[in-house]
Chains A and B, each alone.
Chain A
Amino acid sequence: MELITIKHASKTYKTGVTAIHDLSISFKKGEFVFLIGATGCGKSTLIKMLYREERPTSGQIFIGGIDVAKITNRKVYKIRRKLGVVFQDFKLLPKATVYENVAFALEIFGVPTDEIHNKVIKVLDLVGLKNKAKQYPHQLSGGEQQRVAIARAIVNGPKILICDEPTGNLDEKTSMGIMNVLEAINKLGTTVLVVTHDTEIVNKLKKRVVVLDEGRILKEYAEGEYRHEAI
């Protein structure tokens, strides 16, 4: 079953730069997909359009049957609640503890306190940070901060987890740790899309891989087909 369908999407920025050219692709429920490509290939723009940070200039993007491109700014939150997003720079609240950072995503929806507590502890356990709940982001390593960001992204139980260069700032060993967490999340049924330029990781995980170049799909590899190549 297709969870995300992109039909003939193009994106031209106001500066005149076209980041995506007539791109069509779909992602199935429960898939783990890597989007790779050189800097400026359009991979970040593509996922920004998925969580409606950007709108396509033309074409359609369906997530669970909803055309994301048509959602107004005011209603963006409706689609955001179905997705979890993780960034290279973690985007954590520096003055809130690990627990508060994760709980924050549930509190705004009025989830009862007990339920928040259970859910937050559960995801912190999943990402391996249960014992650091009371610490502040600046007391954690980069890898740990990214785990907090992942915990926050999945605490709502989203169907899709989008990761924009989640290991961009991390060393190889830490990066693998993050990937293991993402794999574990994927095994629980969440569709995971990871944008990266770290081909080492892509090579090791043997997942479906989409290679972008100048806003177009250059190549696609089914699960297990990808072999390390320079990008």
Chain B
Amino acid sequence: MKLFRILSRNIRDSFKSVFRNFSLSLASISCITITLVVVAIAIALSYNVNGFTRKVEKDVTMVVFLNEDISEERFKEIGDEIRKIDNVGKKESDVVGKTKMQVRDEMMKSSETYASILDKYDTRDTNFLKDTYHIKVEDITKMSKTAKTIKKEIKEVDTVKYGEGMIEKLVTIFDFVRKATYVVVIALILVTAFLISNTIKITIFSRKREIDIMRLVGASNINIKIPFIFEGLFLGIMGSIIPIILATYGYSALYNYFDGELFGNFVTLVKPNPFIFNIAGILLLIGMVVGMFGSWRAVRKHLKI
């Protein structure tokens, strides 16, 4: 009961202090707001860059060309054998087989030139094209290894094409881009933490007198720290309100404005739900933790008497 009373008084007093020291509180809140807006933009960018790279990686397809002299039954069996190979996608759509006749039909449909050339090769025996399997893999970095395994384990495989050289480069670049966005976001969060905690430090420095009086009337260190920590918490929460509103409404508006796609349909934006709620949660959490930590750090300094 006593603890509850102390705690509820601390919360009340911290709230009062925010308003009694309004100009300094406003400085802290503005600092939190501005830095969190930057963090929110960085997180949104990083999420979208990540989403884009993952999507491109997912679309990468490996094509297996089979020898000419296999039967249709054997063609189907090979499909099952490919599915069993490690790293090959396990969904039905991840391994799509096309017989040479299907390939011929598709090519004929795509251009008249092809149509005139391929017209006479109308039986499986005369068709010089190859039966193929289009494969999506689980881990794009292991693509070359998977290609080699397919070639080795299925003797009817003629060649495996997957854009050798290109894929490795793409993977390296995407990996770098993703790591870079993580580094930028983390660095920004650290800078934010530093900035916010310093602003709060100034706010509290101006209240050294208050801390001295608290000590004088017999407040223990914990008695002194708790209201300031709550105050930091409130400042953090108040500072994160605008960034949260901007992030949630702003991102949704942006998404709707571009219809979820940029540059035609080349880049698909991350859907607002649940993304904006995640971002709101992250911003609130950063505001709260950094606010409390900043206050705690600042008060601690004054308690070393």
Contacts and interface: CB of A to CB of B under 8 A. Distances in A.
Q: Do A and B bind each other?
A: yes
Contacts of A95: 20-21
A228 interface: no
Interface in A75-128: 76-78, 80-81, 85, 91-93, 95, 104-105, 107-110, 112-113
Given A73-B305, A93-B210, A108 B223 contact: yes
B219 interface: yes
Contacts of A104: 213-214, 217
A156 B218 CA distance: 10
Interface stretch (B1-9, B148-156, B196-204): B1-9
B3 A110 contact: yes
A104 B10 CA distance: 11
Interface residues on B, range: 20 to 34
Interface centre among A74, A78, A109 (most CB of B within 10 A): A109
Contacts of B2: 110
B218 A77 contact: yes
A156 B221 CA distance: 19
Given A93-B210, A95-B20, A108-B223, A85 B6 contact: no
B304 interface: yes
A105 B3 contact: no
B6 A80 contact: no
B23 interface: no
Chain A, interface residues (CB within 8 Å), range = 20 to 34
Contacts, number: 58
B304 A105 contact: no
B3 A108 contact: no
B216 interface: yes
B212 interface: yes
Interface in B247-264: none
Given A91-B213, A93-B210, A93-B213, A108 B304 contact: no
Contacts of A110: 2-3, 5-6, 9
A152 interface: yes
Contacts of B220: 74, 77
What is the predominant secondary structure among interface residues of chain B facing chain A?
Answer: helix
A91 B216 contact: yes
A91 B212 contact: yes
B219 A77 contact: yes
Nearest to A153: B217
A85 B216 CA distance: 7
A112 B5 contact: yes
A53 B215 CA distance: 10
Interface in B1-32: 2-3, 5-6, 9, 13, 20-21
Nearest to B221: A74
A108 B217 contact: yes
Contacts of A80: 215-218
A105 B209 contact: no
B217 A105 contact: yes
Contacts of B217: 80, 104-105, 108, 152-153, 156
Contacts of B221: 74, 77
Nearest to B4: A110
A95 to B, nearest CB: 4
Interface of A: 51, 53, 73-74, 76-78, 80-81, 85, 91-93, 95, 104-105, 107-110, 112-113, 152-153, 156
Interface of B: 2-3, 5-6, 9, 13, 20-21, 209-210, 212-221, 223, 303-305
